[in-house]
Chains A and B, each alone.
Chain A
Amino acid sequence: MCLAVPGKILEVTGDDPMLRMARVSFSGVVRQVSLACLPEAKLGDWVLVHAGLAIAALDEAEAEQQLADLRRILELAPELEPEPEPEPEPEPEPTP
Chain B
Amino acid sequence: MKFVDEYRDPEAARRTAEAIRRDTTRAWTLMEVCGGQTHAIVRFGIDELLPPGLELVHGPGCPVCVTPVELLDKAQLIAARPEVIFCSFGDMLRVPGSHGDLFAVRARGGDVRVVYSPLDALELARQHPDRQIVFFAVGFETTAPANALAALTARRRGLGNFSLLVSQVCVPPAIEAVLSSPANRVQGFLAAGHVCAVMGYEEYLPLAERFRVPIVVTGFEPLDILQGIHATVRQLEAGRHEVDNAYGRAVRREGTPAARALIAEAFVVSDRAWRGIGVIPRSGYRLRPELADLDAELRFDVGALVVAEPAECLSGLVLQGVKKPRECPAFGTRCTPDTPLGATMVSAEGACAAYYRYRRRTSEGAA
Return the contact of B227 from the options A62, A70, A80 (Cβ within 8 A).
Answer: A70
Cβ A51 vs Cβ B117 within 8 A = yes
Evaluate whether A48 and B248 lie within 8 angstroms (CB atoms) in the complex, with A18-B156, A39-B258, A92-B365 already known.
no
Contacts of A38 in B (CB 8 A): 256, 258
Cβ B248 vs Cβ A55 within 8 A = no
Task: Beyond A2-B139, A37-B259, A58-B249, list 14 extra A-B contacts (CB 8 Å).
Answer: A1-B62, A1-B89, A2-B36, A2-B143, A3-B194, A6-B3, A18-B153, A36-B262, A55-B259, A56-B255, A57-B256, A59-B252, A66-B227, A70-B223
Cβ B246 vs Cβ A66 within 8 A = yes
The smallest C-beta distance from B133 to any residue of chain A, in angstroms, reads 15
Can you list 18 contacts pairing A with B, beta carbon distance less than 8 Å?
A1-B91, A2-B192, A34-B146, A37-B198, A37-B262, A51-B89, A51-B143, A51-B146, A53-B149, A56-B197, A56-B252, A58-B3, A63-B3, A65-B248, A67-B6, A70-B223, A74-B12, A95-B365
Residue of B whose beta carbon sits closest to that of A91: B365
Which of B186-232 touch A at CB < 8 Å?
192, 194-195, 197-198, 220, 223, 227, 230
State the CA gap A65–B245 with chains docked (Å): 12
Q: Mark B312-338, 1 if CB is under 8 A from A, else 0.
A: 000000000000000000000000000
Give me the interface of B with A, judged by CB distance under 8 Å: 1-4, 6, 12, 15-16, 18-19, 22, 34-36, 61-64, 89, 91, 116-120, 138-140, 142-143, 145-146, 149, 152-153, 156, 192, 194-195, 197-198, 220, 223, 227, 230, 246-252, 255-256, 258-259, 262, 347, 349, 365-367
Evaluate whether A77 and B19 lie within 8 angstroms (CB atoms) in the complex, with A52-B116, A66-B248 already known.
yes
What class of interface size applies to chain A in its complex with B?
Answer: 35 or more
3 tightest Cβ-Cβ pairs between the two chains A and B: A52-B117, A37-B259, A56-B197
Cβ B250 vs Cβ A2 within 8 A = no
